[in-house]
Amino acid sequence: MKINLCNVFFFTLFGLFTCPLFAAPVASVSKTQVVKNELIQLTIRDDDIHDSDDLDLSPLRARFVVGQPHYSTSRNIINGQYSSQSEWVISLATSETGQVVIPALKVANQVTQPITLSVSASPTTLKASQFIASDVKVADTTLYPQQSTRVQVKLIIKADTRRIENPSITPPTIEGMTLTPLGKSRQYQAVVEGINATVVEQNFELTAEKAGTYQLIGPAFNGTYYYHAINANRTQVLSLQTQGTQTAITVSPIPNQTDGDWLPAHHLVLDQQWQDSDGQTIKEPAAVKVGDAITRTLTLSLSGLKPEQFPSLDINYGNDVRVYKNKPQFNTDEQGRTTMTVKHVLIPTQQGQVSLPAWSLNWWDTDSNQSQTSQVAGLTLTIKEANTPPAHSETVQTGKSLNTAGSRDMQGVSAFWQYAALSSWAAWIISAGYFIWYRKRRSTPSTSAHDNEPMGNEEKANAPMIPGIKKRVKLSRDPLAEMIKTGNAANIQFHLAKWLKTQPLSDTTKQQITQELQVMMKAHYHPQGGNWQPDHLLTLYRQAKKEQPTKAAPLLARL
């Protein structure tokens, strides 16, 4: 009998300790008598340790607005007894009225008991439109194919954004047209209808493709707003779900009376400016020299087209000038007006009268719905002979320079007699120099100590080239080398190409310099050109000068 009593006591004691291990999780709410959209708290506890995602909340979402669950665990040892607990706290609200049941929820392999709520109608009903509004402004609602317009979209939130949970914005859409964001959206605070609101603003570019009628759907908002009920000590939930407003866009067909390529635009302005190589404005009548660079700057400003839709400013200048076209540059202002700037560098190649052509552009005025023509005038120039810089300009100056009047007197004389005269002058100078040196050598038997001092680098550079003449002489710089250093592509191309024709250089050297000139011109005037530095061309030029057999080669080449 004692054994049976002991067994009963043992199993009873074992049951007391093991029952909590199999107890179901417990669900409770902060209140069961609630108002529509009132926020309550659902608490679920279980005497075991779980992961936060062991609780399945999906059954709640059919009839409730479910907040983000707050999960915590605890472990305690009291008087040697160990206990643990997991707890979830979830904010709930329902938009239904009457008897609303919180269903059984599954925690791992166990479930909670359902809870019934009594939900009454709210004394005041709030709408999402009281807190969320949108503003869509379309610059032009009537377009033509390939025409673009600006769209400004604003989403106005007249509520404390800190109380909005899971906010999301659906951008505007349109079927049959292209809607492209311009830049990034910006968010700022503004007072709207007396309320401090948060404004999210984004600009778009809307481009028409085919004729027809289309609907532009504005932005939509979705989120959950938690607010305090008026004259009540409770927090309520409002679903902020809005639909985008619709704006009708009409795309008209292309008119039949258009001339040339289709170019729809409004406020189109075509302008130009002529400049010489010094950057001064050219006005008729004007005269320039062969090889001088003339820059024609064309600007086309309009609204309603993307930069890639702008026309190509192709102008036929004929054979009297070489043409180098710069890359088009685009600039768009805040009003969406785009300006294209193109520079044409023109280099006259021969003397005489040159007429640079006018240019016209046909386009469709979308304001007046009429065909228009914009035009820029041409320019007539008198082209004079160029002053070609000397190929080799190292000269020795022993006093006064040669009489320039004598040079003018030689104009019209054949090249042979010019060379003969120059040879006579050179022989006379050498004879005179030798005579002075010989006389001085005889009159000065010994050299002073000062004369034996070594010369510095500067003195060597400025030392006299004719023996016996103590006066320092100055070597003039090479004009072609100095021109290459300036990087003026038009002048370098003209003068260096002309210099190449007069020099007895190898074909390899000429080809290397010609190729480098092509690289230079492409870098300055081709749309895919890059950066160009004159160092390599300057090196090639100096190497070419070393190939000349004598210093008289440039002069002989002219004969």
- Residue 409 confidence (pLDDT) above 50: no
pLDDT recorded at residue 229: 67
- Whether pTM exceeds 0.75: no
In terms of Cβ atoms closer than 10 Å to its own Cβ (0-12, 13-18, 19+), residue 476 is exposed
pLDDT tens profile 117-164: 999 887 767 788 889 999 999 999 999 999 999 999 999 999 889 989
Lowest average pLDDT, out of 301-315, 329-343, 359-373, 438-452, goes to 438-452
**What are the chain's domains?**
23-120 (2.60.40), 128-251 (2.60.120), 265-384 (2.60.40), 388-399+414-420+461-559 (no CATH)
Lowest average pLDDT, out of 31-35, 107-111, 248-252, 421-425, goes to 421-425
Q: What is the DSSP letter of 517?
A: H
Comparison of pLDDT for 176 and 405, the residue scoring more = 176
CA 309 to chain centre: 18
pLDDT recorded at residue 40: 87
- Residue 525 confidence (pLDDT) above 80: no
Lowest average pLDDT, out of 43-57, 331-345, 372-386, 397-411, goes to 397-411
Token pair for 158: 């007249």
Going by pLDDT thresholds of 50, 70 and 90, the confidence category of residue 451 is very low
Comparison of pLDDT for 466 and 386, the residue scoring more = 386
pLDDT recorded at residue 463: 40
Taking residues 171-199, what's their average pLDDT? Answer: 91
pLDDT recorded at residue 424: 54
Going by pLDDT thresholds of 50, 70 and 90, the confidence category of residue 219 is very high
Pairs from 543-547 (Cβ < 8 Å, separation ≥ 24)? 543/509, 544/503, 544/505, 544/509, 544/513, 545/391, 545/392, 547/503, 547/504, 547/505, 547/506, 547/509
Lowest average pLDDT, out of 72-76, 87-91, 228-232, 462-466, goes to 462-466
State how far the Cα of 98 lies from the Cα of 101, in Å rounded to an integer: 10
Lowest average pLDDT, out of 111-115, 247-251, 275-279, 371-375, goes to 275-279
Find all residues with CB under 8 Å of 523, minimum gap 6, and list them. 489, 529, 530, 531, 532
pLDDT tens profile 47-103: 888 888 889 999 999 899 888 899 998 888 877 787 888 899 998 988 899 999 999
3-state secondary structure of 427: helix
Mean pLDDT of the chain: 79
Going by pLDDT thresholds of 50, 70 and 90, the confidence category of residue 388 is low
Going by pLDDT thresholds of 50, 70 and 90, the confidence category of residue 433 is low
Of 223, 265, 219, nearest in space to 363 by CA: 265
Going by pLDDT thresholds of 50, 70 and 90, the confidence category of residue 470 is very low
Scan for tokens 């320019």, then name that residue.
379
